[in-house]
Structure 1
Amino acid sequence: MPTIYITQEDTALRKKGERLIVKKGKEKIADIPLIKVDQVVVFGEASISGSLISLLSKAEVPITYLSYYGKYKGRLVPEYSKNSLLRIKQFENSRNEKSKLEFARQIVKGKLSNMRTLLMRDTRGNRSKEAKKACDKLKNIIDKLSEVNDIEKLRGFEGLGSRHYFSQFDSVLNNEFEFSGRNRRPPRDPVNCLLSFGYSLLLNDVLTGLYLVGFDPYIGFFHSNQYGKPSLALDLMEEFRPVIIDSVVKTMINKKIVSQNDFKEVCGTVKMKDNLRNDFLEQYEKRLRTKFTHPIFEYEINWRRCIELQARLISKFINEEISEYPPLVVK
């Protein structure tokens, strides 16, 4: 149980010895040894005792706060990594246009390659002309990335490739759900609601991976650096979006784990009901624990560990131990 999700707002978390106690009113609903906890994620409002916060900090267990519907609000993290030399190199590289361009190129290549691979998998044996055209257009964009010498153009290619991919997303879902393209802030249909919720969860796990390595997640290379924007976390997220979150969403819809009745509309925004949120968290954790053979290192690894490994590869690129950053590309 590496991640503890607190989803009920009238919940209290307390410390008892080296254990984390979760109570709802006077009822104890969980009693977890601290050694089994890697992070705590709180949705909405829940009370956490000062003694527990101190214990979690000492054990280097971060606490993440999300809104009731999954929007990232902030986190309490243990003492910042002592790897100041890595952050100095990170800042230097963020001002090096050539380094930024090379890293950004690999980020876009990883994301679009994974999108194309998943689209080809999902349409295997029953690929429409539209799906084939989308796959061909994605390949054409990927092939052109090596010629691009401007980050703004890379951002344009990333956006165009994503539109080709999502243009066929509806065709790989069962007929109960319709998807006409990405919309967010706020999501206006059930599929976008699931995707946005999942990407918020993924952002938290990517932030954790970057903190573990010693990065400042707010200084990025592909995404623009703006106040309060975790740019490096958004950079690293890109290659994992299709293979983790999009896969979870497709699995839940196509296996009928989710139905239209699991959503509600509030002021023009589609939101998940409590039961669906819990089901999504279960499927998300299941996906993160799924093991596969890493295409570069050729050993078995799960997706959560892979996020940290890719963060370490970024550090090797920044420190010039490798000539280019190798994104995680599935086959």
Structure 2
Amino acid sequence: MQKTLYLFASGRLKRKDNTVCVESEEGTKYFPVTSLRDIVVFGEVDLNKKLLEFMQENEVILHFFGHYGNYVGSFYPREHYNSGYVILRQAEHYLDPGRRLNLARKFVEGALANILQVLRYYQNRGKDLAPYIEPIACLAGDRLPLCGNIEELMAIEGNARAYYYDSFNIILEGAPFVIKGRSKRPPADPLNALISFGNSLIYTKVLTEIYKTHLDPRIGYLHATNFRRFTLNLDVAEIFKPIFADRVLFTLVGKKMIGSGDFERHGTAVLLKESGRRLYVKELEDKLQTTFYHRRLKRNVSYQTLIRLELYKLEKHLIGEETYEPFVSRW
């Protein structure tokens, strides 16, 4: 089974025969390249062209984060699976306003449906979340189908997420942290820091999975395809952020696994320390390796596999085999 290798310590990353060698103050470790799906780098790591060629040959993506856990960029090796046919279909769906709007609406539809699933889960456990569920359900059921352009879709999603983030204080009642609205650059409190960090990881998770398909990550639908390097991963991540990133947040904070000592303030920004990032990625990886019964496939699959399956569904939509419907969690 392939895994994500997270590098927190500073050091050197190099090729050693058919392994990736990591040299740091924590010692020297070797990882068979065939065991790696991708590498996420947080520390100050030196590497050379020989290593990048090795990564390209073995289809391993590197994702780089800054010192404070902010996403910097990715080494996206030459595409091995890109299909000219699929890329043309992607472009056709983007250039046709109706088809683009339809796909963009599906991503928002999936995002709001999974947000509602999260809220109903906690409502069934005694949390008074009706003041948040009702307006989001109204946006999803009444307003979303009437949207006539991408800007209206983005506005509805933004309004829904504003209600959703306000609900965090009810879900996490009794926890040491509160959120006073969403703040991104910079995050103004620990909950915003966790949201930003988690979202960035989900973006990279989806990007890695796109690399294993025929899809081109540069052509998105909800997020405009422009001079930004990648957009399709941002679209698909909207579906998964509530059921991956937010559930990890609720576990870490709700069970008091993470505390004020795992954050630090830099001016107006509140950021995760390394200890907090380590806690987060462990919980996320545990979640992604969890399996559930997939009703359509009639077998158990992992949440990690679920991301790839979602991309296959999108690919089938683009080539006209099957209408795309976003995944909605049963949780």
TM-score of Structure 1 vs Structure 2, range by shorter chain: over 0.9
Aligned to 1:146: 145
Aligned to 2:265: 265
Q: Provide runs of 4+ in structure 1 moved above 4 Å.
A: none
Aligned to 2:130: 132
Gaps of 5+ in 2: none
Q: Is the 8 A contact 1:69 1:197 kept in 2?
A: no
- The CA deviation string for residues 112-166 of structure 1, in whole angstroms up to 9 with x for no partner, is 11101101101214232xx212212222222123333332222222111112212
Q: Which moved more, 1:74-83 or 1:192-201?
A: 74-83
Alignment of 1:72-151 (within 5 A): 72-80=71-79, 81-128=81-128, 131-144=129-142, 145-151=144-150
State TM-score, norm by structure 2: 0.93
The offset of 1:251, in angstroms, is 0.4
Alpha-carbon distance change, 95 to 3 in structure 1, aligned in 2, over 3 angstroms:
same
Aligned to 1:64: 63
Aligned to 1:277: 277
Alignment of 1:225-304 (within 5 A): 225-228=225-228, 230-304=230-304
Aligned to 2:5: 4
Alpha-carbon distance change, 210 to 119 in structure 1, aligned in 2, over 3 angstroms:
same
Rounded to whole Å, the distance in 2 between the matches of 1:201 and 1:147 is 32
Aligned to 1:164: 163
Q: Does 1:312 align with 2:294?
A: no
- The CA deviation string for residues 265-288 of structure 1, in whole angstroms up to 9 with x for no partner, is 011110111111111111111111
Q: Is the 8 A contact 2:82 2:213 kept in 1?
A: no
SS in 1 for 2:277: helix
Q: Is the 8 A contact 2:175 2:253 kept in 1?
A: no
Q: Is the 8 A contact 2:41 2:65 kept in 1?
A: yes
State TM-score, norm by structure 1: 0.93
Aligned to 1:48: 47
Rounded to whole Å, the distance in 2 between the matches of 1:15 and 1:103 is 41
What code does the residue aligned with 1:6 have? L
RMSD of aligned Cα (Å): 1.7
Rounded to whole Å, the distance in 2 between the matches of 1:199 and 1:251 is 16
SS in 2 for 1:154: helix
The offset of 1:64, in angstroms, is 1.7
Q: Which moved more, 1:46-55 or 1:109-118?
A: 46-55
What code does the residue aligned with 2:51 have? L
Q: Is the 8 A contact 2:179 2:191 kept in 1?
A: yes
SS in 1 for 2:30: strand
What code does the residue aligned with 1:303 have? Y
- The CA deviation string for residues 168-196 of structure 1, in whole angstroms up to 9 with x for no partner, is 11111143111122111110100100110
- The CA deviation string for residues 185-227 of structure 1, in whole angstroms up to 9 with x for no partner, is 1101001001101111111111112222122212211122231
Percent identical residues: 28
Alpha-carbon distance change, 51 to 191 in structure 1, aligned in 2, over 3 angstroms:
same
Q: Is the 8 A contact 1:15 1:49 kept in 2?
A: no
What code does the residue aligned with 2:212 have? L
Alignment of 1:1-40 (within 5 A): 2-9=3-10, 11-24=11-24, 28-40=27-39
Rounded to whole Å, the distance in 1 between the matches of 2:47 and 2:272 is 25
What code does the residue aligned with 1:107 have? F
What code does the residue aligned with 1:140 have? C
Gaps of 5+ in 1: none
Rounded to whole Å, the distance in 1 between the matches of 2:305 and 2:85 is 24
Q: Which moved more, 1:243-252 or 1:150-159?
A: 150-159
The offset of 1:237, in angstroms, is 0.7
What code does the residue aligned with 2:31 have? I
Rounded to whole Å, the distance in 2 between the matches of 1:257 and 1:147 is 42
Q: Is the 8 A contact 2:40 2:64 kept in 1?
A: yes
Q: Is the 8 A contact 1:108 1:158 kept in 2?
A: yes
